[in-house]
């Protein structure tokens, strides 16, 4: 049986834990992933770290596939968007406690073999 990714669930839980602990949540994300949207000139080596505290962002959304919000960069309010596969870590700025995410499994893995057809088993 193919299951949903745990990343959005763990991300939301860690975000809430960091906020409830009165710390500042930071997200580390890849910017070289298709669908990642960040203002030009702020990423370094294909990655960006951003403060995602409630008073730092607006229209914050985390669903099963994307993290998005608006934030101020320089004098401009910009839309930021990361597909879940782009998220590398979430942690507290004050103490570094949080969670790093490993590489996502291929969404075609699980109950399928290399040919992409379902693996059948006799029970």
Q: Please, what's the b/e burial string for 52-83 (b: 16 or more CB within 10 A of its CB; e: otherwise)?
A: bbeeebeebebeeebbbbebeeeeeeeebebb
Q: Which two tokens stand for residue 46?
A: 């294909």
Residue ranges covered by each domain of the chain: 7-100
Q: Is 16 exposed, middle or buried (0-12, 13-18, 19+ CB in 10 A)?
A: exposed
Question: Which CATH code fits 7-100?
Answer: 2.30.30.220
* pLDDT tens, N- to C-terminus, the chain (123 residues): 899 999 999 999 999 999 999 999 999 999 999 999 999 999 999 999 999 999 999 999 999 999 999 999 999 999 999 999 999 999 999 999 999 998 765 443 333 344 444 455 454
**pTM for this one?**
0.81
């Amino acid at each position: 049986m193919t299951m949903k990714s745990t990343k959005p669930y763990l991300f939301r839980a860690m975000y809430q834990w960091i906020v409830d602990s009165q710390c500042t949540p930071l997200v580390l994300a890849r910017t070289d992933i298709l669908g990642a949207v960040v203002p030009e000139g702020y990423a370094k080596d294909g990655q960006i770290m951003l403060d995602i505290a409630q008073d730092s962002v607006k229209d914050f959304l985390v669903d099963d596939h994307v993290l998005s919000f608006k934030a101020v960069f320089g004098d401009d309010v910009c839309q930021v968007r990361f597909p879940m596969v782009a998220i590398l870590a979430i942690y507290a700025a004050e103490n570094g406690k949080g969670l790093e995410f490993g590489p996502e499994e291929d969404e075609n893995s699980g109950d399928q073999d290399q040919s992409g057809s379902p693996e059948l088993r006799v029970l």
